[in-house]
Homo-oligomer: A and B are copies of this chain.
Amino acid sequence: MGQVVMGQAEAFSDKLIALVGRQNVLLPGDDQEPYLVDWRGRYRGEAAAVVRPGSTEEVSRVVRLSYEAGVAIVPQGGNTGLCGAAIPSGDRPSIVVRLDRMRRIRAVSPLANTITVEAGCVLADIQAAAEAADRYFPLSLGAEGSCQIGGNIGTNAGGTAVLRYGPTRELVLGLEAVLPDGRIFNGLRALRKDNTGYDLKQLFIGAEGTLGIVTAAVLKLFARPRASALALVMLEGVAPALDLMGLLRGEVGDRIGSLEIMSRGQIQAIAETVPDTAIPFPLDAPWYLIVELTDTLAGVDLRLGLEAALGTALERGLVTDALIASSEAQAKAIWKVRHSVSEGNKRSGFVVSHDSAVPLDRQAAFVEGVERRILAAVPHARVVMHGHIGDGNIHVIALIDPARAADPAEAARMVRLINEAVDDETKAQTGAISAEHGIGQSNRARLARVTDPLELDLMRAIKGVLDPAGLMNPGKVFEPAAPAPRQ
Selected interface stretch from A33-41, A187-195, A365-373 = A187-195
Pairwise interchain contact A392-B200, C-beta atoms closer than 8 A: no
A8 at the interface (CB under 8 A from B): no
Pairwise interchain contact A162-B226, C-beta atoms closer than 8 A: no
Pairwise interchain contact A392-B192, C-beta atoms closer than 8 A: yes
On chain A, the number of residues with a Cβ less than 8 Å from chain B's Cβ atoms is 87
A268 at the interface (CB under 8 A from B): no
| Measured CA separation A185–B461 after assembly (Å) | 14
| Measured CA separation A240–B129 after assembly (Å) | 26
A464 at the interface (CB under 8 A from B): yes
| Measured CA separation A340–B435 after assembly (Å) | 45
Pairwise interchain contact A432-B162, C-beta atoms closer than 8 A: no
Task: Pick from B170, B183, B245: contact of A166, CB below 8 A.
Answer: B170
A273 at the interface (CB under 8 A from B): no
Selected interface stretch from A21-29, A72-80, A202-210 = A202-210
Task: Pick from B111, B198, B436: contact of A203, CB below 8 A.
Answer: B198
Pairwise interchain contact A478-B197, C-beta atoms closer than 8 A: yes
Asked whether A155 and B195 contact (CB < 8 A) given A170-B170, A297-B253, the answer is yes
Number of copies: 2
- Chain B hits for A202, CB < 8 A: 199, 202-203
- Chain B hits for A109, CB < 8 A: 359-361
Pairwise interchain contact B193-A359, C-beta atoms closer than 8 A: no
Asked whether A393 and B193 contact (CB < 8 A) given A222-B254, A455-B187, the answer is yes
Selected interface stretch from A139-147, A324-332, A446-454 = A446-454
Pairwise interchain contact B436-A183, C-beta atoms closer than 8 A: no
| Measured CA separation A222–B206 after assembly (Å) | 25
A120 at the interface (CB under 8 A from B): no
A296 at the interface (CB under 8 A from B): yes
Q: 4 closest pairs, A vs B, by CB?
A: A253-B296, A112-B360, A193-B435, A202-B202
